[in-house]
Chain A
């Protein structure tokens, strides 16, 4: 292999001048630099004068076009093909198979390392992780190093033992907790007690009941599998009293979580059953992810039984054991096949199709439809069709709340006009601020003599137009104050909070404002409350697909087939950073981690949650996100006052989601609970 870059090769210094020997083939050049000279993609990008993404695409092309031929080493191939066969045959989520022979480290140590690698892949912030005991489990804990997670709990799957072994349940759990920087929750009781009566009594102890309740919430479990052969852990751990085995457990071929199973994977009930404290086999099967780490031919019957019983859905084992399991199930070694043809990814959304008439009429026609749909709640002001007033709500002596902004955010803004919410909204063209005219008309219409409060998102157009309207209104003797909302934490760093955009958090802020005004609080008090609500509202969004304007019928920015855009606003504008598409839980974590880092809530604090569709993302995906957010908040000890899920503040047809948290205090919570009635939000 040629020297690493930094040392100048003879190619000359000029970036992007392609040396002759590559012909005119940039793929060949890129492939050479990558595979032969060992340059990173970033270094190649610099050398060739390209973006990293192009280099990546070149390398992929080089493989599909056969310029580069990659072969997997035969032993690795065997591991992979066995893992794949095990996964398919037993319907596993995942399977990792390591070589049985390998250097001077014992099989148990290497299985532990592979198990650690597997767990690292799956474990996430907010997880509750159950763990059993044994040599392999302890080896896993010792090989694990995964700091940087938040709010993880590690809980013992069974009670403890006093056995003189290093791999007791207590040791395994505390070691694992340490490696994950997690809270360790013991089961404060022996794994086996002397009689069912004592077990029944112990189970009523509040401390133990609480610990077992946490165990029942486990998202994953890491476990070993024990054979019943004389040298196995089960004999030295105290789970089996000497004589018991022959009398009652002759059918058993293995043990997991201190329980016994036969070759078909069925539970073997014996005298120990009612004397064991910890999770049982039925409860085990309800844990979503069950990672077993076990290998060695002595354990083969036990592992097979555990697989047949469905107690395991992620398996880490070795080649010989894996092949043995497959042979026992009637499988043969998979022959090598030629790779399947590369499938070109489908280009999503090849056409932009919209249910509109003339594009320039879309805003007005949609608004007319909304006014008809909600004719008992809202109406346009005479002579000012873009100023929408609440039929009920505005009254003498009450502060008038006027909101507004561009169209395209439906049900924003007319959806938040009604009793207990905004008194009026001024609506502009698509993603464009309304001019001062309709804002002024709305102001005049809802002024009850107590002044008017403007609330709108921080965009330069809105600021200029609302400012001009405020000047005109004040010249007429109407007291006007304005709160410019800034909840989008992605749009600017915390030091320049005032520069941030106002996005979906407006829903909560409008609600607080409407409730404050409905209580007939004076203008200054409403203003202060709304400012506080704004300061305590945090939003962050991500897009899967850009939206498209009716006028242009083309996506407002480009996003690759596997990319998501983090930090998007609500106008189809691009976000702050782009990254590969990740599972929903990871996306939720990404948004939530940023929000929590800024909010810095204490345990026991209360929040209101909004999982908002940016227009194109269906309810199903929103609820998946909400579920993860609630899980995380629970494990952080934060109470959720209420959850809103749906298209509350959209960006035309953009696919994506925004997450908003309002950090409540008692007064804000009271205002959030106050009754309101509008097209998009009803609190009875």
Chain B
């Protein structure tokens, strides 16, 4: 199994960006129920900026492992909002882990889920059960760390991610903007949890496609 080079990491970002662009208004509607309806825009704009900046950096010869720091800064400057610092921290954490590596092994791709989860947890300080994106990232990270081939690990991560997302429906928000709604946040899926599932699913699909194309 050949490792992913810089261009393939950019391709991976591109899949995430495309999925989020497709979900832009759907996420906005979810957010409108308990927030201010901007989450779809933030995520789509943020990853669009990630693709632009990382493609440029890759073309200029940036190593695959160094693209994550480039991506983190791009996301932050494009978005702001709440998502900006959170996903910027996620990407920067992955950047620390892979810094300097010219290529990233397919076996290491599931570790992105764990790195993202750690970065988001440390910046946002939300706990599982708070009805945030951490209700997806925390169980997904644990699932991705279990042994297995990389695609199976991401499949597992995606499955628990979806469960985590659906579980937010029964939670009362206790941090973030929706917290002001109190019990009225019950019954609604947290938009941050929904977009986290999209990111994980995109990672999984991008890896699956890479593996099938890489196979002789």
Contacts and interface: CB of A to CB of B under 8 A. Distances in A.
Interface stretch (A26-34, A62-70, A243-251, A551-559): A551-559
A574 B184 contact: yes
B170 interface: no
B104 interface: no
A491 B173 CA distance: 13
B134 to A, nearest CB: 13
A549 B28 contact: yes
Interface string A224-239: 0000000000000000
A556 B37 contact: yes
Interface residues of B, number: 37
Interface string A559-575: 00000000001011110
B25 to A, nearest CB: 6
Interface residues of A, number: 34
Given A461-B85, A573-B34, A573-B36, A434 B80 contact: yes
Contacts of B176: 460
B11 interface: no
Contacts of A430: 38, 41
B177 interface: yes
Interface string A490-522: 011000000101000000000000000000000
A40 interface: no
Given A428-B80, A437-B77, A552 B32 contact: yes
Residue from the set A464, A501, A571 with the largest chain B CB neighbour count within 10 Å? A464
B82 A551 contact: no
Contact of A461 (B32, B34, B81, B179): B81
B40 to A, nearest CB: 8
Nearest to B45: A429
Given A435-B80, A552-B32, A554-B29, A468 B41 contact: no
B81 A429 contact: yes
A321 interface: no
Contacts, number: 115
A631 B175 CA distance: 39
Given A464-B85, A464-B123, A501-B180, A556 B80 contact: no
Interface in A572-601: 572-574, 576
Contacts of B83: 461
B180 A491 contact: yes
A18 B162 CA distance: 34
B37 to A, nearest CB: 5
Contact of B38 (A429, A468, A501): A429
Residue from the set A434, A435, A556 with the largest chain B CB neighbour count within 10 Å? A435
A433 interface: yes
Nearest to B81: A432
B41 A461 contact: no
Contact of B79 (A432, A460, A555, A573): A432
A572 B78 contact: no
Interface string B97-129: 000000000000000000000000001100000
A400 interface: no
Contact of A573 (B35, B78, B84): B35
B182 A435 contact: no
Nearest to A501: B180
B37 A465 contact: no
Interface string A311-330: 00000000000000000000
A572 B37 contact: yes
A459 interface: yes
A435 B181 CA distance: 25
A431 interface: yes
B42 interface: yes
B98 to A, nearest CB: 22
A112 interface: no
A491 B184 CA distance: 13
A459 B177 CA distance: 7
Contacts of B76: 435-437, 468
Contact of A460 (B28, B32, B34, B177): B177
A573 B180 CA distance: 10
B33 interface: yes
Contacts of B42: 429, 432
A609 to B, nearest CB: 24
A423 B25 CA distance: 36
A573 B28 CA distance: 12
A461 B181 contact: no
Given A460-B177, A572-B37, A556 B32 contact: yes
Contact of B36 (A468, A554, A572, A576): A572
Interface in A413-460: 428-437, 459-460
A429 B37 contact: no
A432 B84 CA distance: 10
Interface of A: 406, 428-437, 459-461, 464-465, 468, 491-492, 499, 501, 549, 551-552, 554-557, 569, 571-574, 576
18 contacts: A428-B81, A429-B38, A429-B79, A460-B124, A460-B176, A461-B85, A464-B86, A464-B123, A492-B180, A551-B25, A551-B40, A552-B25, A552-B32, A555-B32, A556-B32, A571-B177, A572-B36, A573-B181
Given A459-B177, A572-B37, 17 more contacts: A406-B38, A406-B81, A429-B45, A429-B80, A429-B81, A431-B38, A437-B76, A459-B82, A460-B177, A464-B86, A465-B85, A468-B76, A549-B32, A552-B28, A554-B29, A573-B34, A573-B177
Q: Which 3 A-B pairs have the closest CB atoms?
A: A432-B81, A571-B36, A461-B82
